[in-house]
Amino acid sequence: DTEVTQTPKHLVMGMTNKKSLKCEQHMGHRAMYWYKQKAKKPPELMFVYSYEKLSINESVPSRFSPECPNSSLLNLHLHALQPEDSALYLCASSQGAIADTQYFGPGTRLTVL
């Protein structure tokens, strides 16, 4: 089983809203990732959690706040987003090291009005 789940599938929010994206995996993977993907572009890495600790933050604006409550869950808290933040947000997980194969969830399509 290589399933990563993400909720919600779609999210529309205003610039003053606070919302959260959720990601879950039950593969026993110890590394989890958030990516942002704009149309016709490759995924861009935002954050990496390794063994529940934030190991990489790719200079992401503070309006995006990641959280890893346990080894199976990863959240991305959103606050005061801009319309240019509209994108597909992808969660991925891998067994341990970043060199391991990453498996992606279905993504959350975010629209900021």
Partner 1 sequence: QKEVEQNSGPLSVPEGAIASLNCTYSDRGSQSFFWYRQYSGKSPELIMSIYSNGDKEDGRFTAQLNKASQYVSLLIRDSQPSDSATYLCAVVSGSARQLTFGSGTQLTVLP
Minimum CB distance to partner 1, residue 22 (Å): 15
Q: Which of 11, 23, 48, 74 binds partner 1 (CB under 8 A)?
A: 48
At 107, give phi and psi (nearest 5°). Answer: 90, 160
Q: Which of 13, 27, 45, 80 binds partner 1 (CB under 8 A)?
A: 45
CB-CB contact of 103 with 2 (8 Å): yes
Q: Is the peptide bond before 83 cis (omega within 30 degrees of 0)?
A: no
By beta-carbon proximity to partner 1, the closer residue of 25 and 102 is 102
CA pair distance 1, 4, nearest whole angstrom = 9
The interface with partner 1 within residues 73-92 (CB under 8 A) comprises: 88, 90
Minimum CB distance to partner 1, residue 64 (Å): 17
CB-CB contact of 113 with 62 (8 Å): no
* Residues found near partner 1 in the complex (CB under 8 A): 2, 41-43, 45, 48, 56, 88, 90, 98-107, 109
